[in-house]
């Protein structure tokens, strides 16, 4: 399998995040991608290449221009507020929730940071924009290669993307790589695209981006938002709206479930995708379903991920894999590569 690797991902390296009321070292660290790359090389699963470059117009097919402009200049503005800020990451502290306006762009940098975010657990760093933008190029390159005939391609990048929406970041995510890949496949002529999110946490950003569209089907298997992040989206009754009604499917599951129940939900999601009849599939590949993950609650074991890859291959679709969550750092590499290995062995 072809892997597109973001060699600039480590430029984004947050120091601290707000987690359950206290500042703690970030769970989302560069070593996550490093372990996946090492496992890919150890397994000899296929070539690893650098992504092609794309202009921001391709990213703006998914994200609002004023949001992209904010991300591109945010670090410089943060440091301009106080030179000492160069030694600390930026975290938001104000949010325009119900009854507040979001159409007027504030002059204040802290206010704009709140406008374009939804949690205090996603630090913005000196290298965030460069790392995230290179990651989007990985997703775009993977989509281009699959559109040109590759059976599958893997965008190995961080920060992850599936929590990022049209004009907001959060959940460690800034640019929605899976949505960018899906839109690129559509722009390449694939009439219908499915996005399947198997991260422990619901892909709220991806859902929101495609919620009113009939050409992209979004399906997610995740922890029940009654108890699990991101809490305010991911319920089973969210089925799409307008032209998109019926093209959004959530399968929330209780904390603590094992592989058998999780796999049945995956197969149910795949049956829905088959009924949609897509020409290509994008998989948000989160590995925080692993039993040892520190911020999740399912109990999948390392060998289970081979079976996950086989099930995904049985869909019979050209497939773009995009690396998302997974915070049991030492195990995330073998777990991710097991999915890809299982996929390729079954796909032949």
Side-by-side strand order, sheet with 280-285: 48-49, 2-5, 152-156, 319-323, 280-285, 193-197, 216-223, 248-253
Q: For residues 159 and 124, is the Cβ–Cβ distance under 8 A?
A: no
CA nearest to 142, candidates 6, 259, 17, 238 = 6
| Contact predicate 242/272, CB 8 Å | no
β-strand partners of 278 = none
How far, in Å, are 26, 85, 168, 190, 294 from residue 13 at the CA level?
8, 15, 19, 35, 19
Tokens of 241: 């709206």
What is the DSSP-derived secondary structure letter of residue 322?
A: E
Q: Which of the residues 9, 13, 63, 163 is marked catalytic?
A: 163
Q: Decide if 202 is catalytic.
A: no
First to last CA, the chain: 11
The per-residue b/e assignment along 10-44, b for 16 or more CB within 10 angstroms, e otherwise, is: ebbbbeebbeeeeeeebbbbbebbbbbbebbeeee
Q: How far apart are alpha carbons 320 and 2 in whole angstroms?
A: 10
Cβ–Cβ under 8 Å, residues 180 and 149:
no
Long-range pairs of 91-100 with CB within 8 A, sequence gap ≥ 24: 91/16, 91/17, 91/18, 91/120, 91/122, 91/123, 91/124, 92/117, 92/119, 92/120, 93/120
Residue 127 φ/ψ region, left for φ over 0, alpha for ψ in the -120 to 50 degree band, beta for the rest = alpha
Active site residues: 163
């Amino acid at each position: 399998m072809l892997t597109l690797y973001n060699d600039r991902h480590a430029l984004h390296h947050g120091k601290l995040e707000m987690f359950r009321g206290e500042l703690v070292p970030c769970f989302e660290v560069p070593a996550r991608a490093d372990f996946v790359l090492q496992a890919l090389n150890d397994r000899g699963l296929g070539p690893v290449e650098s992504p092609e470059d794309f202009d921001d117009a391709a990213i703006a097919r998914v994200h609002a221009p004023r949001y992209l402009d904010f991300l591109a200049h945010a670090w410089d503005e943060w440091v301009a507020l106080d030179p000492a800020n160069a030694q600390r990451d930026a975290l938001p502290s104000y949010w325009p929730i119900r009854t507040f306006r979001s159409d007027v762009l504030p002059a204040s940098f802290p206010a704009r940071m709140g406008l374009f975010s939804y949690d205090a657990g996603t630090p913005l760093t000196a290298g965030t924009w460069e790392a995230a933008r290179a990651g989007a190029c990985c997703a775009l390159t993977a989509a281009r290669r699959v559109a040109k005939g590759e059976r599958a391609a893997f965008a190995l990048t961080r920060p992850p993307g599936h929590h990022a929406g049209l004009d907001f970041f959060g959940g460690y995510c800034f640019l929605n790589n899976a949505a960018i890949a899906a839109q690129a496949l559509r722009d390449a002529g694939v009439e219908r695209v499915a996005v399947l999110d198997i991260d422990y946490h619901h892909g709220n950003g991806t859902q929101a981006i495609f919620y009113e569209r009939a050409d992209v089907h979004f399906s997610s298997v995740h922890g029940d938002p009654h108890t699990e992040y991101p809490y305010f989206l991911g319920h089973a009754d969210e089925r799409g709206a307008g032209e998109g009604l019926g093209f959004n499917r959530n399968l929330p599951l209780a904390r603590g479930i094992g592989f058998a129940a999780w796999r049945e939900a995956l197969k149910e999601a795949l049956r829905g995708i088959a009924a949609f009849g897509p020409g290509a599939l994008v998989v948000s590949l989160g590995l925080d379903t692993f039993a040892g993950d520190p911020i999740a609650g399912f109990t999948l074991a390392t060998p289970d991920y081979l079976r996950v890859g086989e099930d995904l291959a049985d869909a019979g679709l050209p497939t773009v894999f995009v690396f998302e969550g997974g915070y049991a750092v030492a195990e995330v590499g073998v777990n991710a590569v097991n999915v890809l290995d299982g996929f390729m062995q079954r796909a032949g």
